[in-house]
Amino acid sequence: MIFGGAGFIGSNWAYRLLKTTDAKVHIFDNLSRRGVHHNVKWLQKAAQGSDRLQITIGDIRDFALVQRAVQKATEIYHFAAQVAVTTSVTDPRFDFDVNVGGTFNILEAARQSGRHPFVLFTSTNKVYGNMCLQSLIPTQRRYYCDTQHAISESQPLDFHSPYGCSKGAADQYVHDYARIFALPTV
């Protein structure tokens, strides 16, 4: 089960699963972001007309739909999010509803399924504060983080923007669902 399965990370993960395993891949996406229709066609081509690819068009804020989608899942990859800092500033309610409410819906649906599916959640560096303070080392093709000053997951949280707040709150829910309900999360 891949939430945000038509987005960049989700579609690449779905493609890899389709090409390197015999797993059935179920993607769930609201198809609201630019370019995702191309990603869906790419995945359908990769599935070669088999029944290995299932697509649900829906919103993670819809608990009933999320609950139906995870009913048989043994693994859940949660890549769905409101990802723009600018949107979080202009519409913080929407940002919160998607990132916190949507994550809560996925976790609660997973818990209620009784299957204890593995849940992978993707966060953001915005939970660690102002990243502009990090040193970058330029090379000919890209920049690398100065490893002497790299960000450790033990670094104190310092939510930066409403987006950082919503992703940080979602992080905490993922952590607590593992601790309180023994849901395997990462």
With a pLDDT cut of 90, the percent of the chain lying above it is 72
Query: In the 3-class helix/strand/coil scheme, how is 10-78 assigned residue by residue?
Result: HHHHHHHHHHHCCCCEEEEECCCCCCHHHHHHHHHHHHCCCCCEEEEECCCCCHHHHHHHHCCCCEEEE
- The verdict on whether 177 is a catalytic residue reads no
Annotated catalytic residue, options 77, 128, 163, 173: 163
Q: For 2-181, which CATH superfamily applies?
A: NAD(P)-binding Rossmann-like Domain (3.40.50.720)
DSSP letters, 142-157, are -EEE-GGGPPPTTSPP
Q: What is the pLDDT of residue 84?
A: 87
Q: What is the pLDDT of residue 149?
A: 58
Note the pLDDT tens digit of each residue in 115-172: 999 999 997 666 666 655 567 788 999 887 766 656 666 776 777 788 888 998 999 9
Average pLDDT, the chain: 91
Q: What is the pTM of this model?
A: 0.86
